[in-house]
Amino acid sequence: MSGHGPATDALPPAGLLRGERRAVARAISRIEQGAPDAAALTAALVPHLGRAHVIGITGAPGAGKSTLVHALLGELLARGQRIGVVAVDPSSPVTGGAVLGDRVRMGEHGAHPQVFIRSVASRGHPGGLSPTTRAIVDVLDAAGFDTVIVETVGAGQSEVEILRVADTRIVVCPPGLGDEVQASKAGILEIADLLVVSKADLPGAEATARDLREMLQLRTKPPAGAWKVPVLSVSAGAAPGRAAHQGLAALVEATLEHARHAGHGRRLHADARTAAASARVLRLAASDPFVAANGITCVRGGPGQAEVRMTLRPDHLNFNGTCHGGAIFTLADTAFGLAANSHGAVAAGIDAHITYQQAVGAGETLSAQAREVSRSRRLAVYRVDVTREDGRVVSSFTGTVYLNGEQHE
Ligand SMILES: Nc1nc2c(ncn2[C@@H]2O[C@H](COP(=O)(O)OP(=O)(O)OP(=O)(O)O)[C@@H](O)[C@H]2O)c(=O)[nH]1
Ligand SMILES: [Mg+2]
């Protein structure tokens, strides 16, 4: 240990870059434990990223994701690949319970020397990816794994997050979904590069595949040359006596074809997009005379996001001596406008609605946090929470913008 100076700490361990299991496991543990040098380690990985094909697999609980991962492992191993698997909150592992090690978890392939499996808890991020998931994917990428598979239970936020991490996003739909699930499929369609109907040996699988194909046809026609989302039916039942595997080779082909189409390292481009959006939000805020006149400052921006603050002055008060509703609206509307324009496309507000929950007085600092709720080609919807310093919500705002297709720069 004594030989490790600050200079060597900035380099990833050589064993990790050679793909040595112990080094990989140690790096992941340091990241998971939030060790003091974890941030330096992830930063040092950056020059070694972008080679692996990252596949994200999401879908409802019990949809058959882990079974599919196991089957994919078999197919990819047969092609001579080294594969890393990150299972976020695995609630129903294919083999064995949570007490068993990660390698045992994925059945026979889990123990294969070319396979590295890690389970992570999503740790207080309900339905979301563990904040360390991205860093673990980076470790596996830097360690030279050809494919990194991330399995996560689809529930709102995680689907959005998997969009940022994965190059190829596979949404698994088991057969026989009821009407209420139909509605949520619309969101699923937006993020899927491949739609997989799992458990194709069960009744109803064909109907589900037909449903999904119909829903895809209802979407706005993708532009020429855009990726066409295929619907694939797969039976991957791992248990002995189950119907033989079916549709797996076609799934692997479609996955590789998508990788050729979309490339690897999408999450790295997403980083660049995030940085550009953040800079744009700060720039737009700084060039807005109305924002300056009201003493509003922008503290943070990102794709579809903005946070602004305002310390209430005496001239923000109304005749009751509390903050004027118009001042709160101004603050919320500023966050709304910045978030809506963060992508670089000109967004014009066409509707806004606000509720007031609490009175506030001069001297208090209010914060407004805007986030994108939905976005299509022409319309986007934002939600803004206005809070006091203690975090209590003062006001809730929703707004819709029209996108005319023009760009800011
Ligand atoms: N008949 C049939 N059953 C399957 C198939 N694939 C998975 N199953 C069963 O479906 C159940 C759930 O499978 P998993 O692979 O654990 O599903 P999951 O989506 O990973 O589940 P969670 O991680 O808990 O969200 C298990 O009982 C599997 O045996 C299949 O192709 N056919
Ligand atoms: Mg699972």
Return the closest-CA partner of residue 248 out of 78, 67, 72, 66. 72
Q: Confidence class of residue 88 from pLDDT cuts 50, 70 and 90?
A: confident
176 Cβ below 6 A of ligand 1: no
What's the mean pLDDT in 189-196? 86
**Residue-by-residue DSSP string for 146-215:** SEEEEEEE--THHHHHHHHH-SEEEEEE-S---HHHHHHHHHHHHH-SEEEE--TTSTTHHHHHHHHHHH
Question: Which ligand 1 atom sits closest to the C-alpha of 92?
Answer: 24
Q: Confidence class of residue 62 from pLDDT cuts 50, 70 and 90?
A: confident
The pTM assigned to this predicted structure is 0.73
Q: Whose CA is nearest to atom 12 of ligand 1?
A: 62
Q: Confidence class of residue 187 from pLDDT cuts 50, 70 and 90?
A: low
What's the mean pLDDT in 374-382? 92
Q: Confidence class of residue 349 from pLDDT cuts 50, 70 and 90?
A: very high
Rounded to whole angstroms, the Cα distance separating 88 from 122 reads: 6
Q: Which two tokens stand for residue 31?
A: 């990241």
Distance 187 CA to ligand 2 centre (A): 21
Q: Which two tokens stand for residue 167?
A: 């190059």
At residue 33, the pLDDT reads 84
Residues making up the chain, counted from first to last: 409
Distance 57 CA to ligand 1 centre (A): 13
Distance 292 CA to ligand 2 centre (A): 51
Distance 168 CA to ligand 1 centre (A): 21
241 pLDDT exceeds 60?
no
* Pairing outcome for strands 168-173 and 53-59: parallel
At residue 127, the pLDDT reads 44
Q: Which two tokens stand for residue 91?
A: 């609630």
Distance 149 CA to ligand 2 centre (A): 12
Q: Whose CA is nearest to atom 32 of ligand 1?
A: 199
At residue 392, the pLDDT reads 95
Backbone torsion region of residue 218, taken as left when φ is above 0, otherwise alpha when ψ lies between -120 and 50, otherwise beta: alpha
97 pLDDT exceeds 70?
no
Q: Whose CA is nearest to atom 4 of ligand 1?
A: 237
Q: Whose CA is nearest to atom 7 of ligand 1?
A: 64
130 Cβ below 6 A of ligand 1: no
Helix ranges (H only) for 263-306 are 266-286, 289-293
Superfamily, domain 270-407: Hotdog Thioesterase (3.10.129.10)
Question: Which ligand 1 atom sits closest to the C-alpha of 234?
Answer: 31
Q: Which two tokens stand for residue 378?
A: 């022409």
Single-letter residue type at 242: R
96 Cβ below 6 A of ligand 1: no
Give the mean pLDDT of the chain: 85
CA atoms within 13 A on the CB side of 397: 30
Share of the chain above pLDDT 70, in %: 83
Q: How far is CA 283 from CA 34, 74, 344, 405, 406, in A?
A: 33, 50, 11, 20, 18
Q: Which two tokens stand for residue 61?
A: 């609980």
Question: Which ligand 1 atom sits closest to the C-alpha of 238?
Answer: 29
At residue 223, the pLDDT reads 77
Pick the ligand that lies closest to the CA of residue 204: 1
Mutate to test the pocket of ligand 1, among 66, 67, 233 (most ligand atoms within 8 A of CB): 67
Residues with CB in 5 Å of ion ligand 2: 65-66
Question: Which ligand 1 atom sits closest to the C-alpha of 153?
Answer: 25
Residues 6+ apart with CB under 8 A from 154: 58, 59, 60, 63, 171, 188
Tell me the per-residue pLDDT of 31-52, one tens digit each, with 9 for 90 and over: 888 888 888 898 899 999 999 9
Residues 6+ apart with CB under 8 A from 62: 92, 174
* Pairing outcome for strands 296-302 and 305-311: antiparallel
H helices then E strands: how many in the chain? 14, 13
Rounded to whole angstroms, the Cα distance separating 405 from 385 reads: 27
At residue 98, the pLDDT reads 41
Rounded to whole angstroms, the Cα distance separating 61 from 49 reads: 31
Distance 42 CA to ligand 2 centre (A): 27
318 Cβ below 6 A of ligand 1: no
Distance 279 CA to ligand 2 centre (A): 38
Pick the ligand that lies closest to the CA of residue 176: 1
Rounded to whole angstroms, the Cα distance separating 236 from 70 reads: 8
Distance 252 CA to ligand 1 centre (A): 19
Tell me the per-residue pLDDT of 132-164, one tens digit each, with 9 for 90 and over: 888 999 999 999 999 999 998 765 555 556 667
At residue 92, the pLDDT reads 47
Q: Whose CA is nearest to atom 14 of ligand 1?
A: 64
Distance 392 CA to ligand 1 centre (A): 42
Tell me the per-residue pLDDT of 202-221, one tens digit each, with 9 for 90 and over: 988 999 899 888 888 877 77
152 Cβ below 6 A of ligand 1: no
What's the mean pLDDT in 348-362? 96
Which residue ranges make up each domain of the chain?
6-264, 270-407
Q: Which sign does the torsion angle of CA 138, 142, 145, 146 carry?
A: positive
Classify domain 6-264 by CATH architecture. Answer: 3-Layer(aba) Sandwich (3.40)
Return the closest-CA partner of residue 219 out of 257, 188, 175, 250. 188
Residues 6+ apart with CB under 8 A from 165: 54, 56, 129, 133, 134, 137, 150, 266, 267
- Phi and psi angles of residue 361, each rounded to the nearest 5 degrees, phi first: -120, 175
